[in-house]
Amino acid sequence: MNIRLATWNINSARLRMPQILRFLQEYDVDVLCLQEIKCQNEQFPLEELAAQGYEHVELNGQKAYHGVATLARMPLRTVERTVFGGIDEARHLNVEMPGVKRGGKPVQIHNFYVPAGGDAPDIKTNPKFAHKLDFLTDMATNFSKQKDRNDPMILVGDLNIAPLENDVWSHKQMLKIVSHTPIEVEHLDKVAQSLSWIDAMRCHVPDEEKLFTWWSYRAKDWQASNRGRRLDHVWVTPSLEGCATHMQVVEPARSWERPSDHAPVIVDLKI
DNA sequence: ATGGTGGGCCACCCA
């Protein structure tokens, strides 16, 4: 069974519906995980998606900020919406695909929006940075205690960390910038180690090559300056190792009218 | 060192 899965920080689902519909159609996506939907569940535009064949939508929304959604052509079932890091915000949604199994178990998809962490990389002066690290610590603990690395799971989303040197435009100039500080990378590494998660994007692009998914709105010409970061990720547990047969960052979407500042990431899975 | 651009919502918060 071949499944095309995508993740996209959409920066307002309601405002960006034309781009969402265009993306689903042009790229023939089966499952789309959205972050920063910025609306309550009741406000999410279900009808337009159903009309285009995406009849299955699971939500964890909230008013104005954050919020994640997972939508698909095939049935989905919400397993859990978990609060990490002690602050009750809509930043996680775990769904399973009852019709998509590996080793007799339905494949689960964790959709994450990790806190951005504010400006100063200092837990003493910046509560947002402390929250980000707490969130990551909680993720690692929760996975270790509650989950089994032998289960087929996919983790996608905006993790707001670019861990590798070539996940940012300038490693040296980014070392003290939130999203690329060593302490954040250490915390993210612990999350990855908790269930031996595999970085499915880097399986397709060598560590020596630049790979970005986000470009700031503040650049005059995002392509010319190309000061990007890889903030969005796709991980799989060991039982799905090698299942991601193809990966692409859909950079053209960053140039569409009224774009999100994130580009979608697509993986093709053979399950 | 600073400000640059967006979205939600109606005074600012957040990215």
Q: Per residue in A113-169, pLDDT tens? A: 999 999 999 999 999 999 999 999 999 999 999 999 999 999 999 999 999 999 999
**Separation in Å: B6 C1' and A232 CA:** 19
Q: What percent of chain A has pLDDT over 70?
A: 100
Nucleotides of B under 7 A from a protein CB: 3-9, 14-15
Task: Give residue numbers, 24 to 63 of A, with CB < 7 Å from strand B.
Answer: 38-39, 63
Please report where in the chains the tokens 């930043």 appear, as a residue. A91
Q: Is the pTM of this model over 0.85?
A: yes
Question: Hey, what domains does chain A have and what are their CATH numbers?
Answer: 2-270 (3.60.10.10)
Q: Give A227's contacts (C-beta < 8 A, 6+ positions apart).
A: A169, A170, A215, A216, A219
**Separation in Å: B6 C1' and A244 CA:** 33
Half-sphere exposure of residue A120: CA atoms within 13 angstroms, side-chain side: 6
* Nucleic acid strand B within 7 Å of A70 CB: no
Burial of A176 (0-12, 13-18, 19+ CB in 10 A): exposed
What is the β-pairing status of strands A31-35 and A2-9? Answer: parallel
Helices (H) and strands (E) in chain A, counts: 6, 12
Edge-first strand listing for the sheet containing A77-80 = A77-80, A92-102, A105-113, A153-158, A232-236, A198-199
Q: How confident is the model at residue A168, as a pLDDT?
A: 98
Read off the pLDDT of residues A208-242 as tens digits, 9 standing for 90 and up: 999 999 999 999 999 999 999 999 999 999 999 99
* Nucleic acid strand B within 7 Å of A14 CB: yes
The Cα A268–Cα A271 span in angstroms is: 10
Read off the pLDDT of residues A121-136 as tens digits, 9 standing for 90 and up: 999 999 999 999 999 9
Q: How confident is the model at residue A213, as a pLDDT?
A: 98
Confidence band (pLDDT; 50, 70, 90) for A176? very high
**Separation in Å: B15 C1' and A106 CA:** 34
- Which tokens hold the place of A70? 């997972």
Contact between A16 and A45 (Cβ < 8 Å): no
* Nucleic acid strand B within 7 Å of A22 CB: no
The Cα A43–Cα A195 span in angstroms is: 35
- Which tokens hold the place of A77? 């079932």
